[in-house]
């Protein structure tokens, strides 16, 4: 039986909200408006995952699937330095791939699973999990097919999380709610509908605060304690 590993986000407040950090064996989703910190959290996790367990890391490698072309290796350098790690060694342990279509994204997952069988990975990032689906199935009447393919991708991600004891961190976009009661106070909601809501174990809703300050709330989890975590985006990654 595999035991769960919790990986620090770099912010103690956010770690506490999460019960210690982002967890292996499941999917953590972050959604929020542009510049809310989804990709910066991904960059921080790329480094913190490689910390030893006693430093709240995962002592493992990282796989990064980038669908928007926003991974910046040069951002990894100051984050590694902040954690006292050698930046080149950290970069060597990030397996990076850019995906251009949803099918490409799916096939990359198959290739990564083969790699994970051979080397100790502790984190898989897909930033963003849904962007290519929204491009590739943009026509009217394609929603059902899109949701079916999205479900397939997410079930593959769940399988990878469980088989290799990795944390899966995915980012999602917000869409304007076309109408109706539930989101009347907040007209934005995560894309992906029930399919994504069902697949993600933890859903993080990020929003901008003052300056580099960001606020995270756990979305739609009646069993988890309510509350918010406030953190900063810095050159060294997420911090309190």
* Residues binding Mg ion (CB under 5 A): 38-39, 70
Q: Can you tell me whether residue 154 is helix, strand or coil? A: helix
CB 57 within 8 A of CB 25: no
CA distance 183 to 53: 40
DSSP reduced 3-state for 162: helix
Q: Which of residues 24 and 39 has its CB atom nearest to Mg ion in the complex? A: 39
Q: Among 28, 40, 67, 165, which residue interacts with ligand GTP (rule: CB under 6 A)? A: 40
The answer to the question of residue 36 lying near ligand GTP (CB under 6 A) is: yes
Query: With CB under 6 A, what is the number of residues at the site for ligand GTP?
Result: 13
Alpha carbons 166 and 49: distance in angstroms, whole number: 10
Q: Give yes or no for a contact between 192 and 132, defined as CB atoms under 8 angstroms apart.
A: no
198 in contact with ligand GTP (CB under 6 A): no
73 binds ligand GTP (CB under 6 A): no
Does 190 participate in binding ligand GTP (rule CB under 6 A)?
A: no
Contact flag: residue 203 with ligand GTP (CB under 6 A): no
Site membership for ligand GTP, residue 233 (CB under 6 A): yes
Sign for the pseudo-dihedral over CA of 148, 149, 154, 158: positive
- Partner whose binding site includes residue 158, from ligand GTP, Mg ion, none (CB under 5 to 8 Å by kind): none
List alpha helices for 124-226, DSSP H: 131-136, 143-164, 193-199
Contact residue for ligand GTP among 5, 7, 25, 37 (CB under 6 A) = 37
Tell the smallest beta-carbon distance from residue 149 to Mg ion (Å). 22
Q: Give the pair of three-digit tokens for residue 65.
A: 């699937």
Please tell me whether residue 234 binds ligand GTP under the rule CB under 6 A.
Answer: yes
Name which of 94 and 116 has its Cβ closer to Mg ion: 94
Q: Could you give the angle at the alpha carbon of 70 between the alpha carbons of 228 and 240, nearest 5°?
A: 30
Partner interacting with residue 57 (select from ligand GTP, Mg ion, none; CB below 5-8 Å by kind) = none
CA distance 62 to 166: 9
- Chain contacts with ligand GTP (rule: CB under 6 A): 32, 34-40, 70, 212, 233-235
């Amino acid at each position: 039986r595999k035991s769960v590993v919790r990986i620090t986000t770099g912010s103690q407040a956010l770690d506490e909200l999460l019960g210690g950090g982002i967890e292996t064996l499941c999917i953590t989703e972050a959604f929020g408006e542009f510049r809310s910190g989804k990709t910066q959290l991904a960059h921080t996790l790329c480094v913190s995952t490689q910390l030893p367990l006693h430093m709240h890391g995962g002592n493992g490698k990282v796989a990064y699937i980038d669908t928007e072309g926003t991974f910046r290796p040069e951002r990894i350098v100051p984050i590694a330095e902040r954690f006292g790690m050698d930046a080149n060694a950290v970069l060597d342990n990030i397996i990076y791939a850019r995906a251009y279509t949803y099918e490409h994204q799916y096939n990359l997952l198959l290739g990564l699973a083969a790699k994970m069988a051979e080397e100790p990975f502790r984190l898989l990032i897909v930033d963003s999990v849904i962007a290519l689906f929204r491009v590739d199935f943009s026509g009217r009447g394609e929603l059902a097919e899109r949701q079916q393919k999205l479900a397939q991708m997410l079930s593959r991600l769940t399988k990878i999380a469980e088989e290799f004891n990795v944390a899966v961190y995915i980012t999602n976009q917000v869409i304007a709610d076309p109408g109706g009661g539930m989101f009347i106070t907040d007209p934005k909601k995560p894309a992906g509908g029930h399919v994504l809501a069902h697949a993600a174990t933890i859903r993080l809703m990020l929003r901008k605060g003052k300056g580099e300050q960001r606020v995270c709330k756990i979305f739609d989890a009646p069993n988890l304690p309510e509350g918010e975590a406030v953190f900063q985006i810095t050159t060294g990654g997420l911090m309190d």
